[in-house]
Amino acid sequence: MLKIIPLGGLGEIGLNMMVFEYDETMFIIDCGLMFPEDYMLGVDIVIPNFDYVKKRYKKISGIVLTHAHEDHIGALPYLLKEINAPVFGTPFTLALVKHKLEEFGLIKKVKLHEIAPREKLKIGHFEIEFIRVSHSVIDGVGLAVKTPVGYVIHTGDFKINHSAADGMVTDVRRFAYYGEKGVLALLSDSTNVEKEGYTLSDQAVGETLKKIIFNSSGRVIIALFASNISRIQQIVNIARDKKCKILFNGRSILVSVDIAKKLSYLNIPHDMEINLSQVNDFSDKDILIVTTGSQGEPMSALARMSSGHHKQVKIKQGDTVILSSKFIPGNEKAITKVINKLYKLGAEVIYEKISDIHVSGHAFQEELKLMINLTRPKFFMPVHGEYRHLILHSRLAKSVGIPEENIIVAENGQVICIDENSFDIKEKITSGRILVDGKGIGDVGRSVLKERRTLSEDGLVVVTIVFDEETGAIILGPEIISKGFIFCNETGHLLEDAKCVVLEIVEECAYDGDILELVENVRARLKTALKQYFYFAIKRRPLILPFIMEV
């Protein structure tokens, strides 16, 4: 039987990674990351658990990428540190991957193979065709996987847009072609299943942006995702019509723009682009700045502008700032903080809640229905979404004729076995999330996060005592220092009273000649007693850290 094993992306947004396995051949679709949730204090990124593929690295024949977003390629360098496998993708996707691998020092180790839409790739028992899909990043593809048990269609992230700004429309004819041949299973993007109707057209967004830019009397600053090359081309065209100069600012956007220009996916008149040193050489109405920071990232160019820390660009009265992207859940506070700062500096701020200046890259309900009707699969499996998205997508599939018993609602780590006539969810393998914190990979777990949360909410109290090894008498201390707990000048008596609690504990732990036993007894009882005391006195539970030594 064919095995399909999701290692990420089911029951969550991001972390997309899936394994196809038949006999002794395995290949991987995507290897994405997820940005940390609120409770993951200090964590930089989250990547999938690779244990399953690491143990079977000899069977892995390739890694196939659907598009260049971080939630699909961001964890790839971490996987390629562990296994050696060729990587297949479209030109723009692989160009961004190459840049990542250079940063990780892996470029000489990994073989990258460009595959164009409608080209086929042979991997062991599998034959894979790339099918063009429209998305919010160029060069996105879905996959038609020919397996020994039948065709499996994986949509990747997609929408069905017949007027894409970049001309890269979803190849509905090819999906329909496989529907005619007979599709065993459809694995379809569920991200926007809650949205009724169809996605807004790129042309409509372009018209809205044009009106805003032409009606602005000062500088226009547009923040967006660096990988949204089609939107950048729209903005370039508008700036050209207005006879503006365009400036790109922000590391990630400069990388994406440079790659897109080299691949001829982005066309900018040679005399139109300027650099930061030329900002003051032109009047405000003749400058359009494209930058990063649409999600309120603290170190992004827009965040530095809003806080007045950007060296070359200072926000002023008359500026128009456009956030041409959606508010990603979890980023709302950071984004609104930046918006408020921009308003304080005198700028006019336009964002998705007050104007149609962004279009989603994920299919709405009618497009999802169309994909099902184009491919007419025997089995249907919703992917890429939180659990509610998967359930709603499964109901949508049922409403267009997929039998309930042929719908697979799976979870990460479950092994889905499919043959020509049936499917079965077998055992659950090791999966989950690995937290990356600085250079540490997987060394931050629940206990560390719990301690960080305690420190952030209740603070730290450090108690130092030094005993005489021979007599068991205190020769230094007790000294008590607090960090993030109380303001000592206001409630200094609290720590002084806490010293009395410590001394009482020491008196109760009688010294019988064994200094190590005394130290352990004091340490254990001291933690409990101080926690009880602080909670009784001030209703807080700080982390108690005792340093007890003997000399």
Please report which helix (H) or strand (E) contains residue 346, including its range. none
Mark whether 166 is an active-site residue: no
Spatial distance between the Cα atoms of 222 and 365, rounded to a whole number of angstroms: 29
Spatial distance between the Cα atoms of 456 and 381, rounded to a whole number of angstroms: 41
CA-nearest of 134, 265, 113 to 203 is 134
Among residues 189, 202, 319, 437, which one is catalytic?
189
Cis bond upstream, residue 269 (ω within 30): no
DSSP 421-478: S-EEEEEEPS--EEEEETTEES---HHHHHHHHHHHHH-EEEEEEEE-TTT--EEEEE
Mark whether 356 is an active-site residue: no
Q: Which residue has the tokens 């220092």?
A: 481
Q: What amino acid is encoded at 75 in this protein?
A: A
54 CB-near residues (< 8 Å, 6+ apart): 82, 83
Burial profile 504-513: b = 16 or more Cβ within 10 angstroms, e = fewer: ebbeebeeee
Among residues 362, 384, 389, 393, which one is catalytic?
362
Spatial distance between the Cα atoms of 504 and 474, rounded to a whole number of angstroms: 12
CB 369 within 8 A of CB 400: yes
**How many CA atoms within 13 Å lie on the side-chain side of 351?**
20
- Residues 98, 100, 103, 107: is their CA dihedral positive or negative? negative
Q: 281: which DSSP letter? A: G
Q: How many CB atoms lie within 10 A of CB 68?
A: 26
Q: Which residue has the tokens 């081309």?
A: 233
Residue 219, classified by CB atoms within 10 Å of its CB into exposed (0-12), middle (13-18) or buried (19+), is: buried
Q: What amino acid is encoded at 271 in this protein?
A: D
- Residues 443, 447, 450, 451: is their CA dihedral positive or negative? negative
The residues that bridge with 544 in the sheet, in sequence order, are 461
Phi and psi torsions of 356, nearest 5° = -80, 75
126-132 and 141-147 beta bridge pairing: antiparallel
Spatial distance between the Cα atoms of 89 and 348, rounded to a whole number of angstroms: 40
Torsion of CA 434, 435, 439, 444, to 10 degrees: -110
Our measurement of the distance from residue 544's CA atom to the centroid of its chain's CA atoms, rounded to an integer in Å, reads 35
Q: Which residue has the tokens 């048990």?
A: 149
Active site residues: 189, 362
